[in-house]
Structure 1
Amino acid sequence: MPSFALPVLSNRHTEFQTQNILVRDQDGRLHFAPITRRAPTLPPEILAEIFIHCLPALGFVTPDPAEPPLALCAICRWWREVALSTPRLWSSLLVDFDDMPTNNTDVDLYRKWLSRARGAPLSISLKDWDEKEVLTSVDPILQTFVGLSRQWKNIEIDVGMNLARSIFPVDGDFPLLERLTVSVHASELSISFCDAPKLRQVSIPIYNPHIQVPWYQLTTLRIANISVPGCIEILRNASNLLDGTFEVAGNPPDVATSIVHHNSLRKLSLGAMINQDHNVNPMPVLSFLNIPGLKSLTLEFRNWDTTGAEDVSTFSSFVSRSSAQLDTLALSSMPATTQDLIECLKATPSLRNLKLDPAHRLVNMDRVFSQFTGDSKFLPKLQSLHFVLDPVFVTPFAVVDMLSWRWASSGITQLKFFRFAHGHNQRSVDGALKSHPEYRRLEMEGMELYVGDRSLVDTFL
């Protein structure tokens, strides 16, 4: 079989004119043409696709002359023409009204930016944390934003009362809207996104009952500052929800509420809004739920007075009623005694991932670690264990004994990941654990271990 030598590409001047590039002629046909230093080296479609990949993968684009897409327009006339004729380059925008100057420079930039997006689906974020007065100069931006509502795809609106009144209500439908975050400090405004057939992901950092969305369509939902009855009612209506996060405020309802049977939910996170006057318990929400398919549950108790324990039997009752085979559980500052915490864990034998941030003054951690040691019926499938603790409440030998037993014992799943994160600089405790021969042996044999400052590690499962 004859062999063919491939030509060697070179940028040396004497050989430059002999190299070819794929170009498109005036008739739209592709062909090879000699490379010249003055001619475009890529077809505009390919160059445009490269430009799009220069944009940030996450978040919204902030106009910056040193960053794409504006920086691309300053390279040469050819790049500028391609960039300005590529709508997707201009379909993402963050507008921070707090940094808006009093002149019209930025206003004109934002309006031209959005005009270049033409009919492309839009991802826009409006920020107004200082709740400034509506300036005449920014009103054209709001008008342009509202006028493009049929192109909204991913929208974040975090504005004060004055700007909110200039935006809402928005008339019409939202045929392209898929993701929505709305935090509006104007409780009297009626805001509806019900006519949005593609909307699946919604976040409402400050819950307002006047904000209406098609609950039954949603698959992901984040809501804060919502009452227990409001939370239950939304879960009743959001029948297709897969992932829900709720931060509740206020006390549980005084009237009887029927159980919500939710067959779609797979991940549920319940927390409590920080309240300076009293503790807010998110657990009563579980009293009204039956979620047989739930795989991940997070309970966060914030601002809780840890000097006294609470009745946590609601947790075990919920797990029993739902017959849920939980895979992941995270409990933060749960006001439970040592025995109550152990009983809650016994109710979830299917767990593979566990994170505990216990109420230190209520829980004997050495006893908890001992529970993980020697009992093959206690969390037999556990693979990942994450503690967030103050090390002064833990005996290093109890930790090492637990790790050794969970690594080598038969009849249980081998513990593969262990993290012990704390919020204080406790080098002596860290050193006692890390220098222990068993700890070092487990690390060498493949157990993934972390002991140290919680700020240096992801504290969530």
Structure 2
Amino acid sequence: MSFDLQLMGSLATRVGTNYAATDAELAEIKRLLKDPQTKSKQLEEDIALSEARLKNLREQKDALDESMHSYRALLSPIRRLPRDLLQEMFLACLPHERNPSMSTDEPPVLLTHVSRQWRHVALHTPRLWAAIHIPVPSIPRNHLGEPLSDEYSRRVADIMEQRMCIASEWFERSGVCPLSISLHEWNAHWASDVFATVAKRCLIPFCRRWKDISLTTCASSIRPIQELSAADTPLLESLRLHLTTIMVPPPTEDIHAPWKHGSILQSLRLTQFQISAKDRDIPYSQVHWGLLTTLVIEGNRWAVSMYPDLAAIKNVLRQCTALIECTVQTSAGVMYSPEGDDEMQESPIILPHLKALTLEEKYDASFLWQLHAPSLHQITYSRTPSVEPTSPSPLLSFLTSHPDVEIQRLHTSSGSMLADEFLTCLKCCPLLHTLHIKTGKYMTPMASPMMPTIAQHLGQIGLNDSLLIAFAPASVDIEDVLCPKLEDVEFMMDSKFSEEAVLDFIRRKQNGEDKHLSKLRRVKFHFSRKKPFDKNIEADVKPFVEEGLQAELLYDRPFMKGPFSLYDGLPTIYPQFPSLPGFHSG
């Protein structure tokens, strides 16, 4: 302030301008700056001293905190947990939908890297090591089945040697616990010595403890497994076989070695069986079908010859009287219908305990018209679309002919039925609380215009605002409400829903004014258009999200590509959209 006052006299009015000082004024300015510069230097020295003192104080504090931290760690409640409780916590950390990997980024291996105590507890908890996923890298081959690279083959051998050692240690740590093992060889279209070696060295020595086994490989690579007997696997409850077929087999190779009589398929504890293979790979005579509670029979969706025969599937299902869950893919090679098939029509498929059915039909290959399942509550249904679809839909025929069946969950796909059939199906399901519709696996932008299927008709007739009004009309008459118990809806396909109708639907379901309408727990809508700039449905839905509703409202990405896209051939870069807790938009 004193420096400014001194300038007030002669140069104050010149400060902040482009004025060029005279020689006399320059000398005067230098004289005026001498004392302030000295003061500034002194202040700089004082600041340096203060910063040094502050740094010293911080170092003292950090050292003190560090010494206290060591003692505070002793106060941590988790250190005082009983060993058995800590073990249960470790077990709860394991993935529930799959077997744990060997990765150090997830349990159980991750738990051994936290502390010495945790490592000791983890290594001495056998159940923690009772499940494992073992991936087997595929070796690229030419059309004759010869490896394309010897160097790559050696690398695969080295990697698998390491993984086999880890797996052996893993099983040793599991003590006497029943084992859950998934052995996966990606894209295996040739017999694999590596897979067979892993099976012989790591799996078979522990076969008496097998409980849940999943094998993904070439059909001819499981011969060591086929040689085992039911007596070798007394604990086996679940067996999943994802088998591929050699694309161009050597003429001298027998790729379809039979299962040994009395094989593991005849284990008396086996209640869950899954096989993905062509018909001749399925050992129909080996399995105790009447003991199964879960059955999955799948094929190769890209080739008709890779699917199990429908007649054989029917015969199997008739024997599976204890089934609770069932998944079947039927073949597309032969037309099946009630007419002209008197023997099958007279022999129904009776599954009294079946609760969940997943059915992927090919064209007109269906057994639904023969199925009798009074306990069925969940259906996942898809059907390969044809240019001239059979009417009525097999699913519709089943629902209309079995009014006593109370379907609560329905999952279907575009192309599975026509729009009017879809609406009739919904009317047959008054207790439905979950409805999911997704784009069919076989529908493409180029193919869908040729097929008068759900992909077109639902978008123009069924999946529009009138459907949402039918689910939650403004003036409620319970007899006119479609599926009043709906709580979980998902429409992931082309539709004609407007944002206003979706918002009104959510409001009517959530306002609680009508006790006949169940509130929504989850909604997921796909708007088959770009996100409009003049609408902000997220803000309107936010209050319901804050009350617990899970909402996902998705739009076509701005860079979504298609046959006529202006972005075709350019790198795909998806913009990021902000989301609210419990709310997702795109």
TM value normalised by structure 1: 0.73
Counterpart of 1:157? 215
1:312 aligns with 2:389: no
How far does residue 388 in structure 1 lie from its aligned partner after superposition? 1.7
Counterpart of 2:277? 206
How far does residue 118 in structure 1 lie from its aligned partner after superposition? 3.9
Counterpart of 1:24? none
Distance 1:141 1:453, change over 3 A: same
1:229 aligns with 2:311: yes
Find the aligned partners of 1:454 and 1:218 in 2 and give their Cα distance.
43
Distance 1:72 1:270, change over 3 A: closer
How far does residue 316 in structure 1 lie from its aligned partner after superposition? 3.7
Tell me whether 118-127 or 64-73 shows the greater mean CA deviation.
Answer: 64-73
- The one-character-per-residue Cα deviations of 1:16-55 (angstroms, maximum 9, x if unpaired) are 9x99xxxxxxxxxxxxxxxxxxxx9998767766665565
Q: Is the 8 A contact 2:427 2:483 kept in 1?
A: no
Counterpart of 1:147? 205
Q: 1:368 aligns with which of 450, 453, 467?
A: 467
How far does residue 452 in structure 1 lie from its aligned partner after superposition? 2.0
1:348 aligns with 2:429: yes
1:101 aligns with 2:156: yes
Counterpart of 2:290? 216
Q: 1:266 aligns with which of 352, 355, 371?
A: 355
How far does residue 157 in structure 1 lie from its aligned partner after superposition? 0.8
Percent sequence identity is 22
Counterpart of 1:36? none
Pairing of 1:418-457 with structure 2 (within 5 A): 419-422=523-526, 424=528, 426-428=530-532, 431=535, 433-434=537-538, 449-453=551-555
1:196 aligns with 2:267: yes
- The one-character-per-residue Cα deviations of 1:185-207 (angstroms, maximum 9, x if unpaired) are 36723344343333332322336
Distance 1:416 1:69, change over 3 A: closer
- The one-character-per-residue Cα deviations of 1:264-296 (angstroms, maximum 9, x if unpaired) are 111112124xxxxxx6356x3211111112111
1:59 aligns with 2:148: no
Q: Is the 8 A contact 1:327 1:352 kept in 2?
A: yes
Counterpart of 1:22? none
- The one-character-per-residue Cα deviations of 1:95-120 (angstroms, maximum 9, x if unpaired) are 22217732444433333433343432
1:383 aligns with 2:486: yes
- The one-character-per-residue Cα deviations of 1:340-388 (angstroms, maximum 9, x if unpaired) are 3222222222323323448241131334345443653243532325242
Find the aligned partners of 1:118 and 1:200 in 2 and give their Cα distance.
24
- The one-character-per-residue Cα deviations of 1:302-345 (angstroms, maximum 9, x if unpaired) are 4x25x755413543432243321222222321454433322222
| Counterpart amino acid of residue 107 in structure 1 | M
Give the secondary-structure state (helix, strand or coil) at the position aligned to 2:240: strand
Q: Is the 8 A contact 1:332 1:356 kept in 2?
A: yes
| Counterpart amino acid of residue 355 in structure 1 | H
Counterpart of 2:170? 113
Tell me whether 119-128 or 150-159 shows the greater mean CA deviation.
Answer: 119-128
Find the aligned partners of 1:280 and 1:155 in 2 and give their Cα distance.
33
Find the aligned partners of 1:402 and 1:341 in 2 and give their Cα distance.
20
Give the secondary-structure state (helix, strand or coil) at the position aligned to 2:532: helix
Distance 1:429 1:164, change over 3 A: farther
1:413 aligns with 2:484: no
Q: Is the 8 A contact 1:200 1:219 kept in 2?
A: yes
Find the aligned partners of 1:12 and 1:335 in 2 and give their Cα distance.
67
Find the aligned partners of 2:545 and 2:105 in 1 and give their Cα distance.
45
Counterpart of 1:300? 382
| Counterpart amino acid of residue 90 in structure 1 | W
1:182 aligns with 2:268: no
Give the secondary-structure state (helix, strand or coil) at the position aligned to 1:427: coil
Find the aligned partners of 1:154 and 1:101 in 2 and give their Cα distance.
26
Find the aligned partners of 1:409 and 1:42 in 2 and give their Cα distance.
49
Distance 1:51 1:414, change over 3 A: closer
Find the aligned partners of 1:410 and 1:42 in 2 and give their Cα distance.
50
Q: 1:280 aligns with which of 354, 363, 376?
A: 363
| Counterpart amino acid of residue 198 in structure 1 | R
| Counterpart amino acid of residue 102 in structure 1 | A
Give the alignment's Cα RMSD to 1 decimal: 4.4
1:339 aligns with 2:420: yes
Unaligned runs of 5+ in 1: 1-10, 20-39, 273-278
Counterpart of 1:27? none
TM value normalised by structure 2: 0.59
Counterpart of 2:568? none
- The one-character-per-residue Cα deviations of 1:178-225 (angstroms, maximum 9, x if unpaired) are 222111236723344343333332322336422643322222222212
- The one-character-per-residue Cα deviations of 1:131-178 (angstroms, maximum 9, x if unpaired) are 366447972652441232211011111122453224322124322122
Tell me whether 53-62 or 449-458 shows the greater mean CA deviation.
Answer: 449-458
Find the aligned partners of 1:216 and 1:59 in 2 and give their Cα distance.
27
Give the secondary-structure state (helix, strand or coil) at the position aligned to 2:157: coil
Distance 1:150 1:339, change over 3 A: same
Find the aligned partners of 2:547 and 2:84 in 1 and give their Cα distance.
52
| Counterpart amino acid of residue 101 in structure 1 | V
| Counterpart amino acid of residue 332 in structure 1 | S
Find the aligned partners of 1:12 and 1:204 in 2 and give their Cα distance.
60
Q: Is the 8 A contact 2:348 2:370 kept in 1?
A: yes
Counterpart of 2:12? none
Counterpart of 2:321? 239
Counterpart of 1:289? 371
Give the secondary-structure state (helix, strand or coil) at the position aligned to 2:485: coil
| Counterpart amino acid of residue 386 in structure 1 | V
Unaligned runs of 5+ in 2: 1-66, 139-154, 246-254, 300-307, 440-453, 558-578
Distance 1:190 1:414, change over 3 A: same
Counterpart of 1:3? none
Give the secondary-structure state (helix, strand or coil) at the position aligned to 1:428: coil
Counterpart of 1:255? 341
Find the aligned partners of 2:544 and 2:194 in 1 and give their Cα distance.
66
Find the aligned partners of 1:328 and 1:149 in 2 and give their Cα distance.
38
Find the aligned partners of 1:13 and 1:315 in 2 and give their Cα distance.
66
Q: Is the 8 A contact 2:164 2:201 kept in 1?
A: no
Counterpart of 2:127? 88
Name the one with the larger strand percent.
Answer: 1
Counterpart of 1:129? 186
Q: Is the 8 A contact 1:326 1:351 kept in 2?
A: yes
| Counterpart amino acid of residue 319 in structure 2 | N
Counterpart of 1:321? 401
